[in-house]
Amino acid sequence: MDVFWYTLLGLLLAGYLALESLDFGVGMLMPFADEESERARMRRTIVPLFLANEVWLVAFGGLLFGALPVAEGELLQALRLPFLAVLCAWFLRDAALWFRTAHEGAGWRRTWDIVLAAASFVLAAGWGAVLGMLVRGLSIGSHGHAVAAVGDLFHPFTLLCACLAVVASLRQGSLFAARGLPEGSSPRAALGRVTRVSTPTLLLLPLLVAAFGVMATPAPAAVATIALLVCAAVYASDRVQATGRTGMALLLGAAPLVALPALVGAANGTTVLATRTGGSNLALSGAIADSASLTLLAVIVLPALVLVAAGQLWFWQVFTRAGVERP
């Protein structure tokens, strides 16, 4: 059962990243729209969907606190600075989406467009970097506990994982924002260029992640296998998109984001928080909650997650249809 809860945490985080990649991508692309009408439409494609997507991050945090309370404290301690950057970007991204329409001034709206793009970039890159550091393993600080050192953050493997998350989000955002735009229109052509540039980049980045993963992770074969699966999914997404099936293309295009949490489990197994030296590792058996707490979670949380998933499907059906139909 311990592995079940750990896997469920990974699924919640993977679901959050897959859904939010659309919002990250649209946010990063917002300042590049030429007309105010184009920028307003791009905003409507992710409002209020981003609020529903954030439910999965809240569920992840709640389940981490309930099922792996020791791991929550250790992770927050070890990754406090990267998490602080991600948290600040989260607040600014949400503020930009709401505050943009608070005033009619062009300068006001352009300012919040820039904030939205910067915060969306930090969110995508931040999550990619955090998960990349967890895959590779953290340093050990002077206090004897795991810590994300500067060298961990700027290691090539970490930076490649951050780039993977950013480029994948840009591609997802360009596909999602282009839905419903007239064929041959200037905005759709611009978004199509983003898709065409990001697709070959996404075929290369997983291979680079695998190449560095062979040297930087304890499970090079698993990292390489996941990287090849990501390449196959991106290629299939491009082929499917060529036939006009955008929904399936978006589903397959989420593979790079889903792969990042999967890499953590594949590289470290049941070690929840790994270090490169092996000292101060936190094993799943030492991080899991007691059996009484897990029983309570099973009774309360699992049915709630089913209801939330059903609600999310309904929410997306309603608002994605509205986002396409509205002018």
**Pairwise CA distance, residues 170 & 29, whole Å:** 7
13's CB contacts (< 8 A; 6+ apart) are: 56, 57, 60, 261
pLDDT at position 279: 76
Parallel, antiparallel, or unpaired for β 271-273 and 282-283?
A: antiparallel
8-state DSSP, 167: H
**Claim: this prediction has a pTM higher than 0.75:** yes
Three-state secondary-structure class, residue 290:
coil
pLDDT at position 239: 95
With tokens 């390449």, the residue in question is 231
**Pairwise CA distance, residues 261 & 231, whole Å:** 16
Say how many C-beta atoms besides its own lie within 10 A of residue 294's C-beta: 18
Identity of residue 228: L
Render each residue's pLDDT in the chain as its tens digit; 327 residues.
789 999 999 999 999 999 999 999 999 998 888 888 888 888 888 887 888 888 899 989 989 999 999 998 899 999 999 999 999 999 999 999 999 888 888 889 999 999 999 999 999 999 999 999 999 999 998 777 889 999 999 999 999 999 999 999 999 999 999 886 777 778 888 889 999 999 999 999 999 999 988 887 778 888 899 999 999 999 999 999 988 888 899 999 999 999 999 999 998 888 999 988 877 788 988 889 888 888 888 888 888 888 878 887 777 777 666 544 444
**Pairwise CA distance, residues 135 & 115, whole Å:** 30
Would residue 282 be called left, alpha or beta, if left means φ above 0 and alpha means ψ between -120 and 50 degrees? beta
Domain spans, the chain: 2-325
pLDDT at position 38: 85
